[in-house]
Structure formats: C-alpha cells, structure tokens
Amino acid sequence: MSAPGNLPEIDGLRVNTALRFYHEILGLDALHYGLWKNDPFNMEGLKTAQERYTDHLLSYFPANVKVVLDAGAGTGATSEKLKSRGYDVEALSPDPYQKYLFEKNRSVHFHLAKFQDFSPKKKYDLVLMSESCQYIPMDGLFTNVKRCAPGGYLLINDYFITRPDNTPMSKSGHNMDVFFRKAREHGFEIIKEEDITDQAAVSLDLAKNWVDRYVLPSIDLVTYSFRHKHPKLFAILRWLLRGKIRKFNDDLMLLDSSHFKRVKRYKILLFRVPQ
C-alpha cells in the first residue's frame, strides 16, 4: 500500500478518487460499513467490524454453492477471502482503478463491466452484491442475475430507503418496497433476511467524529488566515465555489446516523433465483 503523498500514477485511468482515498490513505481494504460489536471506536475497530461483516456474509452461503460472482467487488478483499475459503470466484466492477488493483494484488479473474451489461460466459451458483446493489438499476439487476445464476442464489448486503423524507439522505439506495415488488415480479423468492442497521451505522458515527475533530477544524484554520489576508478574494472564491460548498454540506448531513436510521435500513437479503 502506498504512503500518502506517494500515490501511484495510473495513466489513462478515470480514477475513482473516493475509493483511492479509502484504500490508499485510510488503508481500508473493504469499502462497506462493517458489522460493529463492542469494537474500539477507531480505525482498528472499523477494520475488525469489516472483517466480521465479511465472515457473517459467508455464513449466508448455502452449502451447495461453489461458483461465485462478486459483483461490485471494490478492492477485492471479499473475492480474495472467498477464494481462500475454496470458492471458485470471479469479480466484476465498472471501475478501471479496481481492475488495476485486481491485476496488481489479486489472483481472481476480473471483469470490467457494469453488472447490468455483463454477458456471463458460465453459470454461477451465487451472485454476491456487497454494498453494490444500490448502484445497479433494479430491472437490469434482476434480469441479469437470472442470466448469471439461473436456479442459484442472490446475496445482497446493502442499505435501502424505507422512509424517504425528501433530503439528500433519501437519494442513495433503492426503495425497499419497490425492490421487493420487482424481486417478486422477476420470480425471486426471499429465503433469509436480516436487519443490521444498528451494527452498520456505527461507521457513520466514526466518520462524523473524524470530520468534527480533524476536517472541519483544519478547514477553519486555513480559511481563517486566508479570509483575513484576502477578504475580497475570499468572498469571490466562496461565491464561485458555492455549488461545491453546498455539496460538501449535504455530504456532511449524510454522516448523521440517527437520520440514516430514520430513513434507511441496512439489510442482508438472500434470494433464490428462478430457473
């Protein structure tokens, strides 16, 4: 893993900056919320919670599953774990940076594609969507899982919107009722379901804590001296950047775990895929 300030140059890639930040600066291998118990409220605690989350997912794999597609595979930590447990696993993501990471660090075959556009060359027993379901349009998702794993399983771990409230918090994630309706329409049968909202949302508290302790005071420090030295330029820049400032404030609101719990539920869903 590269040290901050020494990030590898990846020529010609449209790089996902947020992902590089989590992976290369924060040193996170997994990109999901994790499953917290009484872990220390720090980076090490987050990594432990993320390991627990992946182990918990694996406990959902039916005994007859051998061939797995990790759809929306991130940095490949889950794919690697699946492989080490003896599964025949392939990974997929539309992000060239993730392809680069797989080629560099993993021994798992990687498909550069959006799941909804992916043409399977083989039959999988299970399609895994670990916090990637929310990025895949619902109809394309169900249609293509039927092509990839007919008669097999779909395992999803993700948050869903249950009580939309017209705020930015209600923008990411599929609507839970619509998702279940579409699943039924496509012939999917739910066989296991678990709500892990409380154990997942601790990651939001941790992120908020970092922002409050380090990010906001740093911004205050920098802008304070700049505003006093260059008041006119500061006013112009603030006006020019008003869109970005609004977006930043919206993003901060997404770290409010109580609001998250009012609007969303984080679910593990195991579906049987129709033949």
Ligand X SMILES: C[S@@+](CC[C@H](N)C(=O)[O-])C[C@H]1O[C@@H](n2cnc3c(N)ncnc32)[C@H](O)[C@@H]1O
Residues at the interface with ligand X (CB under 6 A): 30-32, 71-74, 78, 92-95, 98, 114-116, 130-132, 135-136
Axis crossing angle, helix 231-240 with helix 216-229, rounded to the nearest 10 = 130
Confirm if 189 and 271 have CB atoms less than 8 A apart: yes
Q: How far is the CB of 97 from ligand X (least distance, A)?
A: 9
Can you tell me which residue has the tokens 């959902």? 60
Instruction: Locate 236 and state its tokens.
Output: 């112009």
Q: Which lies closer to ligand X via its Cβ, residue 80 or residue 125?
A: 80
Axis crossing angle, helix 77-84 with helix 43-58, rounded to the nearest 10 = 50
CA 182, CA 241: separation in Å to the nearest integer?
Answer: 40
Give the strand pairing for 109-112 and 88-93. Answer: parallel
Q: How far is the CB of 275 from ligand X (least distance, A)?
A: 24
b or e along 96-105 (b: 16 or more beta carbons within 10 Å of the residue's beta carbon)? Answer: ebbbebbeee
Q: Which lies closer to ligand X via its Cβ, residue 114 or residue 259?
A: 114
Q: How far is the CB of 21 from ligand X (least distance, A)?
A: 13
Residue nearest to ligand X (CB): 74
Q: How far is the CB of 218 from ligand X (least distance, A)?
A: 26
Q: Which lies closer to ligand X via its Cβ, residue 1 or residue 275?
A: 1
Q: Which lies closer to ligand X via its Cβ, residue 78 or residue 257?
A: 78
Q: How far is the CB of 38 from ligand X (least distance, A)?
A: 23
Q: Which lies closer to ligand X via its Cβ, residue 65 or residue 136?
A: 136
